[in-house]
């Protein structure tokens, strides 16, 4: 120390107050969701341009199974409801019930992914892979990107379930569950657009 002074016994902090601004995480997550909206907007725009470029190959009317897609849509929308129940139980400070609804949400999400992978494998088996035409390239890119987001959401969900089991419903875990809630509902909203714009309009002549 300069001048032979003894070092301070306790650390000195020159930034007073809380280092994490109130609601800073939620604001930052909203910014992330808006950037994700731009990504999906670009993918929807690409599909809108290439969605009728069949290259003398099969069209959506030839390939899409609306009954399967309707079941898949129901699974994802139902998972949004179950996540809402989890948030209600979180507000009541019921850890067990919160974990149960989160688990149901994850199972429904896995069911959605399983049907989506089945659809992809079925299309590829029919010779309608992403390299067949610009329409199929745009389709696989848009729907596959959404599927990757759901996969990430399930991994995040399992991680938070472990965090809640270890530390309970502390403020940090409540904030994380709130962010995942926004992300999960955002994926449902995007899928409604996919179901309408890609599948329903795709079966039209």
CATH number at residue 110: 1.20.120.80
- Per-residue pLDDT, 28: 87
- Per-residue pLDDT, 24: 65
Copy the structure tokens of residue 158.
């399992």
| Residues lower than pLDDT 70 in the chain | 1-24
- Per-residue pLDDT, 17: 57
pLDDT digits (tens, 9 = 90+) for 186-202: 999 999 999 999 999 99
- Which residue from 147, 150, 169, 151 is spatially nearest to 160, judged by alpha carbons? 169
Q: Is residue 112 part of a domain?
A: yes
- Per-residue pLDDT, 20: 56
Q: Is residue 169 part of a domain?
A: yes
Q: Is residue 93 part of a domain?
A: yes
Q: Is residue 34 part of a domain?
A: no
pLDDT digits (tens, 9 = 90+) for 47-76: 999 999 999 999 999 999 999 999 999 999
- Which residue from 108, 83, 103, 199 is spatially nearest to 158, judged by alpha carbons? 103
Q: Is residue 69 part of a domain?
A: yes
The answer to whether the pTM exceeds 0.95 is no
H helices of the chain, in order, are: 24-50, 60-63, 66-91, 95-125, 134-167, 171-194, 201-202
Rounded Cα gap, residues 120 and 144, in angstroms: 9
Q: Is residue 14 part of a domain?
A: no
**Beta-carbon-side half-sphere exposure of residue 150 (alpha carbons within 13 Å):** 31
- Per-residue pLDDT, 27: 85
Q: Is residue 16 part of a domain?
A: no
Angle between helices 171-194 and 24-50 (to 10 degrees): 10
Q: Is residue 143 part of a domain?
A: yes
For residue 42, the 8-state DSSP code is: H
CA distances from 19 to 22, 80, 184 (A): 9, 33, 28
Rounded Cα gap, residues 55 and 70, in angstroms: 27
Contact 166, 172 (CB under 8 A): no
Copy the structure tokens of residue 7.
């070092």
* Domain coverage including residue 88: 65-203
Rounded Cα gap, residues 142 and 197, in angstroms: 11
Count of domains forming the chain: 1
């Amino acid at each position: 120390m300069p001048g032979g002074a003894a070092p301070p016994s306790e650390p000195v902090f020159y930034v007073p107050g809380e280092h994490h601004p109130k609601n800073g995480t939620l604001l930052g997550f909203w910014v992330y969701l808006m950037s994700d909206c731009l990504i999906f907007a670009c993918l929807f725009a690409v599909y809108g341009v290439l969605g009728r470029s069949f290259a003398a190959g099969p069209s959506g009317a030839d390939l899409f199974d609306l009954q399967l897609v309707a079941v898949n849509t129901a699974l994802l929308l139902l998972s949004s409801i179950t996540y809402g129940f989890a948030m209600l139980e979180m507000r009541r400070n019921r850890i067990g019930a919160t974990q149960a609804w989160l688990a149901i949400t994850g199972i429904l999400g896995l069911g959605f992914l399983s049907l989506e992978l089945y659809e992809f494998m079925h299309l590829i088996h029919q010779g309608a892979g992403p390299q067949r035409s610009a329409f199929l390239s745009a389709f696989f890119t848009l729907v596959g990107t959404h599927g990757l987001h759901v996969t990430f959401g399930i991994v995040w969900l399992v991680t938070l379930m472990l965090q809640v089991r270890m530390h309970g419903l502390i403020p940090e875990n409540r904030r994380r569950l709130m962010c995942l809630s926004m992300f999960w509902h955002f994926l449902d909203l995007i899928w409604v657009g996919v179901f309408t714009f890609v599948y329903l309009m795709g079966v039209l002549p």
